[in-house]
A and B are shown apart, each in its own frame.
Chain A
Amino acid sequence: MDDITTRCIAIIAKSKNMSPEAITPDSTFDQLGMDSLDKINVSFEVEDTFEIAIPDESMNSLRTVQDMVDGILRLQQQKTHNEALAEESK
């Protein structure tokens, strides 16, 4: 598993007080029993860990751990792209 996936699983495992081994990229948030509070808490931790800002509507559209990993990758790429544009415009 890649680093982002491993760290996401660790965040969810900590929040849900469960073993990381019980979580796979295919695990759905429903299967993991994540309610709205868990999602708020996990998104806060993810934002801190990966230094990204998750748009309000995003968390509710995610279904699996892999969806979350893909979203983080997209936000990181977008952030890098935006920073490069800002650098060029200086």
Chain B
Amino acid sequence: MNRVVVTGLGCITPIGSTIDQFTTSLFTGTSGIGPLRPFPEAPSGDPLNPNLRFSRYAEVTDFDPTPFLTSGQIVSSDRSGQFAILAARQAVEHSGLMQAHSPESIAIITGCSTGGRGSEELETGRLYNQNARVHPLTVIRTMSSAGASYIATEHGITGPVLNISTACSSGTHAIGLAFQMVRAGMATAAIAGGHEAPLTLGFLRAWDSMRVVSPTQCRPFSADRDGMTLGEGSASLILESLESAQARNATIYAEIVGFGMSADAHHITQPKAEGAADAIRRALKDAGASLEEVGYINAHGTGTQVNDAVEATAIHQVFGDYAPHIPVSSTKALHGHSIGATGAIEALATVLALHHGQLPVNAGVTEIDPALKLDVILGSFRSATPQLAISNSLAFGGLNAVLALRSYVA
């Protein structure tokens, strides 16, 4: 079994479209949440009034792919796929892996849940309202695996390439399965991550109808938390065996040591603590780690009353008396909840936390919820060098995925 390390990073997020920008925002606690853009497509006819209960989201502002992508890539891809291409390109260039691995031995696993949502809404809206013709590239733009295909094409990678769609856990499942493939020797390296561009009027209205989006702003684990804040973006990690990373003297940002998956088998929206707890236990067992080694939890922490309470219960079920002593933060108050991408963005945050010895702040809290009995990181980042960190993703439908990572010390 190979040891698996992270040797390249890339991102397009509301808090930075380079790793340097993302790192700065992460550790200064700078949020990317801002006001909604105008919606000229709103049926109300008023671009400033899309009839939503909420008025804020986390957008990748001023995103312009034209300097970076070919016209063929742009015309045939959705914003989501474009995020995927560009984050992966950063990670690949950052890592220098293409010189060290043969193209057929590299895997690509993306997490994307909603596909090309913007393209789909645009075309079907025109079709239903105006009986307009549907653009011939709509099929290509809307496939959720398009990002994976574009990454493979751009870098000439011919190994196993696939997309995983498990709602809000997609990115974490993608990285976890890529980790297992490299560990088992099925691939010598992998490009793994998640991408999503779901900030379309139809999707925002659908979330609005569920009444789980904050009318103010996401503040996970706060006593007065009132919901999640939607976001978009992508993150990409390069995974490879420790042996190959050392052989080419690559920078190692962290080591992935375990992965746990579970299903609640309970309810399509209501999370169940036992399911999340099982995923955490399986990740730690896979890592061969003791409970006391865990020095940081990057929580799913959506900011809804139910999620945060259930996740806290799961943490207490797993860690018992040790639970209140583990630093916890959700970084969603910074980058928003970007559905299939969010697990990858949070894995990136966890890697950077381990690499820099700084645990990101859980922003936005007005008063910590005392019932949760967690050591939530408030105010600013906390300097610490945890032996092991976990990153939780708990998706709608009860699909849970947890990564366990260690600081890498040469």
Chain A residues engaging chain B, CB cutoff 8 angstroms = 15-18, 33, 35, 37-38, 40-41, 43-44, 47-48
Name the residue on B nearest A14 (C-beta): B71
Cα–Cα, bound, A40→B136 (Å): 7
Pairwise interchain contact A17-B71, C-beta atoms closer than 8 A: yes
Name the residue on B nearest A32 (C-beta): B71
Pairwise interchain contact B75-A15, C-beta atoms closer than 8 A: yes
Pairwise interchain contact B74-A17, C-beta atoms closer than 8 A: yes
Contact partner, A37, options B66, B72, B133, Cβ 8 Å: B72
Cα–Cα, bound, A16→B283 (Å): 48
**Which label, helix, strand, loop or mixed, suits the secondary structure of the A interface?**
helix
Cα–Cα, bound, A15→B75 (Å): 7
Contact partner, B137, options A17, A35, A41, Cβ 8 Å: A41
Chain B residues engaging chain A, CB cutoff 8 angstroms = 66, 71-72, 74-76, 133, 135-137, 140
Pairwise interchain contact B76-A37, C-beta atoms closer than 8 A: yes
Pairwise interchain contact A38-B66, C-beta atoms closer than 8 A: no
- 12 A-B contact pairs sorted by A residue (CB < 8 Å): A16-B71, A17-B74, A18-B71, A37-B137, A38-B72, A40-B136, A40-B137, A41-B135, A43-B136, A44-B133, A47-B133, A48-B133
Inter-chain contacts of B72 with A (CB < 8 A): 35, 37-38
Pairwise interchain contact A17-B133, C-beta atoms closer than 8 A: no
Name the residue on A nearest B134 (C-beta): A44
Inter-chain contacts of B75 with A (CB < 8 A): 15, 37-38, 41
Pairwise interchain contact A41-B66, C-beta atoms closer than 8 A: no
What's the minimum C-beta distance from A50 to chain B, rounded to whole angstroms? 13
Inter-chain contacts of A47 with B (CB < 8 A): 133
What's the minimum C-beta distance from A46 to chain B, rounded to whole angstroms? 12
Inter-chain contacts of A37 with B (CB < 8 A): 72, 75-76, 137, 140
What's the minimum C-beta distance from A51 to chain B, rounded to whole angstroms? 11
**Which label, helix, strand, loop or mixed, suits the secondary structure of the B interface?**
loop
Most chain-B CB neighbours within 10 Å: which of A17, A43, A47? A17
Inter-chain contacts of B133 with A (CB < 8 A): 44, 47-48
Pairwise interchain contact B136-A17, C-beta atoms closer than 8 A: no
Cα–Cα, bound, A40→B141 (Å): 13
Cα–Cα, bound, A33→B75 (Å): 14
Inter-chain contacts of A33 with B (CB < 8 A): 71
Inter-chain contacts of B76 with A (CB < 8 A): 37, 41
Please provide the 6 A-B residue pairs with the shortest distance between their CB atoms, ordered closest to farther: A16-B71, A37-B72, A41-B75, A17-B71, A37-B76, A40-B136
Inter-chain contacts of A38 with B (CB < 8 A): 71-72, 75
Contact partner, A44, options B66, B71, B135, B140, Cβ 8 Å: B135
What's the minimum C-beta distance from A10 to chain B, rounded to whole angstroms? 14
Additional 18 contacts, C-beta under 8 A, given A38-B72, A41-B135, A44-B133: A15-B71, A15-B75, A16-B71, A17-B66, A17-B74, A18-B71, A35-B72, A37-B72, A37-B75, A37-B76, A37-B137, A40-B136, A40-B137, A41-B75, A41-B76, A41-B136, A44-B136, A48-B133
Inter-chain contacts of A35 with B (CB < 8 A): 72
Name the residue on A nearest B140 (C-beta): A37
What's the minimum C-beta distance from A18 to chain B, rounded to whole angstroms? 8
Cα–Cα, bound, A38→B136 (Å): 11
Cα–Cα, bound, A5→B2 (Å): 61
Name the residue on A nearest B73 (C-beta): A37
Name the residue on B nearest A42 (C-beta): B75
Inter-chain contacts of A43 with B (CB < 8 A): 136
What's the minimum C-beta distance from A53 to chain B, rounded to whole angstroms? 10
Most chain-A CB neighbours within 10 Å: which of B71, B75, B76, B140? B71
Cα–Cα, bound, A44→B140 (Å): 15
What's the minimum C-beta distance from B70 to chain A, rounded to whole angstroms? 8
Cα–Cα, bound, A35→B72 (Å): 7
Inter-chain contacts of B74 with A (CB < 8 A): 17
Cα–Cα, bound, A38→B70 (Å): 10
Inter-chain contacts of B71 with A (CB < 8 A): 15-18, 33, 38
Cα–Cα, bound, A33→B71 (Å): 10
What's the minimum C-beta distance from A34 to chain B, rounded to whole angstroms? 8
What's the minimum C-beta distance from A66 to chain B, rounded to whole angstroms? 21
What's the minimum C-beta distance from B131 to chain A, rounded to whole angstroms? 13
Cα–Cα, bound, A18→B71 (Å): 9
Inter-chain contacts of B135 with A (CB < 8 A): 41, 44
Inter-chain contacts of A15 with B (CB < 8 A): 71, 75
Cα–Cα, bound, A16→B135 (Å): 17
